[in-house]
Chains A and B, each alone.
Chain A
């Protein structure tokens, strides 16, 4: 057994001691072994490493230490610091990913534009409009960014109750309520505090592939496709006033007007 092997073996059996105590004891043991003649059989001279460690522990009055605190104190401080740093950085990175994954700052902007011929729904919130195939259709909502970072608005995906063909329009940020100059939608960044109109303009049509029996409702929640950093998803922004579409005759067969 070489000098280093002997020291290492003793050190292994004292691994529960604080790092500085173990370092001092092993340093002194190393110095002692260096004093011995070069051809010394350490095991024969000093006894087995486990016995040496026990004698040393007993004579020095060093009790065996157990538990998480002892485990931490037995580690080299610089390793503990590095480990803590790595743990902190990893935790922050995980926290950031989780936060980014949940970041959804879009809220209803407290204004809705309904089709011109809509009427308040009797006994329920929102308005009702009668489906008239080929007639003009218009529906718009405002959305706001209530968060601290901008998100990119990608559009409004089609829903199963979209009984219309329409194009999406958007206006400039933070318009006065009565001034809504619209332009064709292009994806845009909605910055914190900004509000914008998203308006669907087109005609009533049976384009959903769904046979409606009695009507459909849109606007309880508004689906908004958006992206933030690497994430793209559709969120459903709760709006206040739903738009109910009713039918004068039964159903709206799929592809009827395609």
Chain B
């Protein structure tokens, strides 16, 4: 099964989880996701997800000057985003546990 398709389903939650660790920007979010094993997800999908989460009010952003180039857009999780992350994490854990039972020998 295509890993990218599997990851897309949980990408929103993963992005929220990365940002919940501290204010960060797009490129850093991508790098963190890749380090964590989400290397099959395209850059465009992450940026699109960021926009959707921001539009939904789960993220807020601010522009800050960067030493290496143009201003960066820093994201942080809102209260609604934190709640979404908590609900999503519980749901995901439930699915994970259920799936674990299915594949247990």
Contacts and interface: CB of A to CB of B under 8 A. Distances in A.
B105 interface: no
B42 A55 contact: yes
B48 A31 contact: no
A177 interface: no
Contacts of B52: 59-61
Contacts of A62: 48, 51
Contacts of A24: 51
B42 A31 contact: no
B37 to A, nearest CB: 19
Contacts, number: 73
A57 interface: yes
Interface in B25-70: 26-27, 30, 42-52, 55, 68-70
A35 B68 contact: yes
Contact of A31 (B26, B49, B51): B26
Interface in A175-209: none
A contacts with B: majority SS: helix
Interface residues of A, number: 25
A31 B69 CA distance: 8
A28 B48 CA distance: 10
9 contacts: A28-B73, A31-B26, A31-B71, A31-B73, A35-B68, A55-B44, A56-B47, A59-B51, A60-B49
Interface of B: 11, 26-27, 30, 42-52, 55, 68-73
